[in-house]
Amino acid sequence: MEIIQIQDFLVKVKNVPVIDVRSTREFLKGHIPGASNVPLFNDDERAIVGIKYKDESRNSAIRAGLEIVGPKLVSLVEQSKSIAKNNKVKIHCWRGGLRSESMAWLLNTAGIKTFVLNGGYKAYRRYQKEYYSKKVNLIILGGKTGSGKTAILYEIENLGEQVVDLEGIANHKGSAFGALGQDAQPSNEQFENNLFEKWISLDFHRNIWLEDESKAIGKDFIPDEIWIQMRNSPVIALEMGKPLRIKRLEKEYAQFNKEELKKSIFKISKRIGGLNTRQSIEAIEKRDFSTAIDLSLTYYDKAYQFGLSGREKEMVFRIILEEDNPKRNAEKVLDFAKKNGLHKNIQCRT
Of 3.40.50.150, 3.40.50.1820, 3.40.250.10, 3.40.50.300, the CATH number of 2-129 is 3.40.250.10
Domain map (residue ranges) of the chain: 2-129, 133-339
Report helix, strand or coil for 78: helix
Tell me the pLDDT tens digit for each residue of 112-133: 999 999 999 999 999 999 999 9
Cross-sheet strand order for the sheet of 316-321: 162-164, 208-211, 138-143, 235-240, 316-321
pTM: 0.91
Listed in order, strand segments (DSSP E) in 27-174 are 36-37, 88-92, 113-117, 138-143, 162-164
CATH code 1.10.8 for 133-339: no
Tell me the pLDDT tens digit for each residue of 252-268: 998 999 999 999 999 99
Q: Which of 93, 163, 208, 281 is catalytic?
A: 93
Cross-sheet strand order for the sheet of 113-117: 2-4, 113-117, 88-92, 18-20, 36-37
Whether the CB-CB separation of 112 and 286 falls below 8 Å is answered with no
Is the confidence at residue 205, as pLDDT, over 60? Answer: yes
Find, among 101, 75, 92, 76, the residue nearest to 17 by Cα: 92
Identical fold between 2-129 and 133-339: no
93 has catalytic annotation? yes
C-alpha gyration radius of the chain: 25
DSSP 53-66: HHHT-HHHHHHHHH
Whether the CB-CB separation of 289 and 250 falls below 8 Å is answered with yes
Output b/e per residue, 109-122; b: 16+ Cβ within 10 A: ebebbbbbbbbbbe
79 falls in which pLDDT band (50, 70, 90)?
Answer: very high
Tell me the pLDDT tens digit for each residue of 307-345: 898 899 999 999 999 999 999 999 999 999 999 999 875
pLDDT mean over 30-59: 86
